[in-house]
Amino acid sequence: MTSEENNLKADLRFFFMSPCEKYRARCQLPWKLCLQLLKIVLVTTQLVLFGLSNHLVASFKEENSLAFKHLFLKGFQGAREDGNSFAVYNRQDVYDSMFYAINQYLQLHNVTVGNYGYVQDENNLTALTVCKQLYVKSPPVPSENVNRSIIDSRIETVSLVFLLYCIGFFRLVQIEISFRLKGIDLQAFQYNELPDCYEFLITITFDNTVHSGIIKIFLDSDAAIQECNDWDISDSLSKSSHYILIFDVFIMLICLMSLILCTRSIILAISLQKRFASFFLRKYNFNVCLSDRLEFLNGWYIMIIISDTMTITGSIMKMEITVKNLTTYDICSILLGTSTLFVWVGVIRYLGYFQKYNVLILTMGVAFPKVLRFCCCAGIIYLGYTFCGWIVLGPYHAKFENLSTVAECLFSLVNGDDMFATFAELQEKSNLLWLFSRLYLYSFISLFIYMILSLFIALIQDTYETIKKYQEHGFPQTDLYTFLNDSTEIPNISRYV
């Protein structure tokens, strides 16, 4: 055995060791592992802190939006439980609702219990605008005996400032009342934080696009966060935000370190793999197969790299949000959330070093491609049912209204949820549809629950038994492991960490 071969073997063996074995072999502290564990604690703490302050902002917006609905919509009594929107059905109610909204706006300071203020433009005028969209020409009234009327699908927009003439309902497409209000989130005081100032853009839409005798009313409040410029802030308030920024920077440094270490490991792995492949080619005139090459590429490292990149990006965004430069809470929370998920999933890797946990993790790993492959088959039938249900039942039932809800409804049915409710909703239509819906639901549910879910269990069980047999009688050997195992020398020199 040449010295080159011995060196290679020593390096390879060290490379495929678990942290415990490395520790035993070289008494080297597994500080990459420690770094990861520290990261879990830090990243989770950061997430919880961000989440708590985020929830305050969200609930403030939510409550203001609800308060506006109660203030400006006449007869509003809370969101409808059946998902229908707030609507009016006759002309008097349309006029009443409009005047009510405008009136409430005008006497806002006497009415509201919130801290709102008008937004004034450069001319010191408050900016309530009423704006209606009409068909340019009146479409033909169905009952009139006109001989030939010309249909014209163009729409014009007329803006009214504080004057409401008679609305031509035949031509009307929609009316929009919009105005701006200022607000301040005083609640932040109690958490020793800087209060945010808000500018709400409130839009009340009377929607008649369908022309079906219903005018739906939507109130939309868009909140923009602004810095409260003109105020002196007591010292204690500003200090607490400094600590948070420092903490974020610290997390970024930890993640950067972890990122660098993992990248280094991957680069070393690739170079080792090349060395191994060229050695094999030279000695045995034999190309190392792909699966052996992939053994070198540790999937966990890739996951850690992705997770670290997300944490760093997220932390930068979080800092920008803290100092009120950005308001993209959603993207930041998706970045931080996903990275935390990955960090936690990464813990499983360390559990896999224990023998007893290993069976389960190996089973999941081996069964995963099989399950995916089977999901693929089942998914095709599923897609067929989705399209079929959408086209036939869609026009009559809310649950089948668009493709995504059909997919969700079927997914719930497969997992045994919401079955009777779905049956009940598909009740009171024509006989043909009733029959179709029964055939559709019974066949779908039976097929998926009795055949496909059972097959999943069979798949997993088969894999579990295979893995257990392997653990008792040895795994099938690849070239790499055959090469590694036919020498017994303990490596003492290695460049790999």
One residue of 37, 38, 58, 160 binding a second copy per CB under 8 A: 58
SS (H, E, C) 464-487: HHHHHHHHHHCCCCCHHHHHHHCC
Binding mask 383-412 for a second copy (x = CB under 8 A): xxx-xxxxxx-xxx--x-x--xx--xx-xx
One residue of 377, 469, 489, 495 binding a second copy per CB under 8 A: 377
Residue among 7 and 466 whose Cβ is closer to a second copy: 466
State the Rg of the chain over Cα: 33
At closest approach, how far in Å is the CB of 2 from a second copy? 41
Identity of the residue numbered 1: M
CA distance 449 to 439: 15
Residue among 272 and 426 whose Cβ is closer to a second copy: 426
At closest approach, how far in Å is the CB of 5 from a second copy? 37
CA distance 496 to 7: 12
CB 177 within 8 A of CB 98: yes
| Residue from 361, 287, 273 nearest 15 by CA | 273
Site for a second copy in 16-35 (CB under 8 A): none
The tokens 């997390």 sit on which residue?
A: 251
One residue of 161, 278, 419, 477 binding a second copy per CB under 8 A: 419
Residue among 54 and 273 whose Cβ is closer to a second copy: 54
Using DSSP's 3-state secondary structure scheme, residue 182 falls into strand
Residue 80 CA: distances (Å) to CA of 3, 74, 87, 375: 80, 15, 11, 38
- Residue 157 binding a second copy, by CB under 8 A: no
Binding mask 457-486 for a second copy (x = CB under 8 A): xxxxxx-xx--x------------------
Question: What count of other Cβ atoms lies within 10 Å of the Cβ of residue 435?
Answer: 10
At closest approach, how far in Å is the CB of 332 from a second copy? 9
Residue among 53 and 494 whose Cβ is closer to a second copy: 53
Site for a second copy in 185-244 (CB under 8 A): 185-187, 189-190, 192, 195, 197, 208-215, 228, 230-234, 237
One residue of 139, 178, 269, 487 binding a second copy per CB under 8 A: 139
Residue among 110 and 159 whose Cβ is closer to a second copy: 110
One residue of 31, 41, 160, 169 binding a second copy per CB under 8 A: 169
Residue among 446 and 477 whose Cβ is closer to a second copy: 446
Residue among 142 and 474 whose Cβ is closer to a second copy: 142
At closest approach, how far in Å is the CB of 415 from a second copy? 4
Q: Of the ranges 257-265, 283-291, 446-454, 479-487, which one interacts with a second copy (CB under 8 A)?
A: 446-454
Q: Of the ranges 78-86, 250-258, 265-273, 287-295, which one interacts with a second copy (CB under 8 A)?
A: 78-86
The two tokens of residue 192 are: 């020793």
Residue among 102 and 268 whose Cβ is closer to a second copy: 102
At closest approach, how far in Å is the CB of 184 from a second copy? 5
Which DSSP letter does residue 120 get? B
User: Residues with Cβ < 8 Å from 457, sequence gap 6 or more?
Assistant: none
The two tokens of residue 61 are: 């917006």
- Residue 146 binding a second copy, by CB under 8 A: yes
User: Residues with Cβ < 8 Å from 397, sequence gap 6 or more?
Assistant: 425, 426
- Residue 47 binding a second copy, by CB under 8 A: yes
User: Residues with Cβ < 8 Å from 57, sequence gap 6 or more?
Assistant: 185, 196, 225, 329
CB 385 within 8 A of CB 410: yes
Residue among 68 and 301 whose Cβ is closer to a second copy: 68
One residue of 36, 54, 315, 322 binding a second copy per CB under 8 A: 54
| Residue from 252, 253, 255 nearest 263 by CA | 255
Residue 333 CA: distances (Å) to CA of 243, 314, 339: 20, 7, 10
The two tokens of residue 52 are: 């708590």
Residue 160 CA: distances (Å) to CA of 101, 132, 170: 15, 8, 18
- Residue 290 binding a second copy, by CB under 8 A: no
CA distance 83 to 417: 20
One residue of 239, 242, 438, 469 binding a second copy per CB under 8 A: 438
Residue among 225 and 360 whose Cβ is closer to a second copy: 360
The two tokens of residue 449 are: 């629950």
- Residue 182 binding a second copy, by CB under 8 A: yes
Which DSSP letter does residue 495 get? -
One residue of 28, 38, 84, 291 binding a second copy per CB under 8 A: 84
Binding mask 89-108 for a second copy (x = CB under 8 A): xxxx-x--------------
Residue among 150 and 246 whose Cβ is closer to a second copy: 150
CA distance 198 to 201: 10
Binding mask 302-331 for a second copy (x = CB under 8 A): ---------------------------xxx
What sign does the CA torsion over 168, 83, 431, 451 have?
positive
Number of residues interacting with a second copy: please give it, by CB under 8 A: 173
Residue among 411 and 475 whose Cβ is closer to a second copy: 411
Residue among 12 and 175 whose Cβ is closer to a second copy: 175
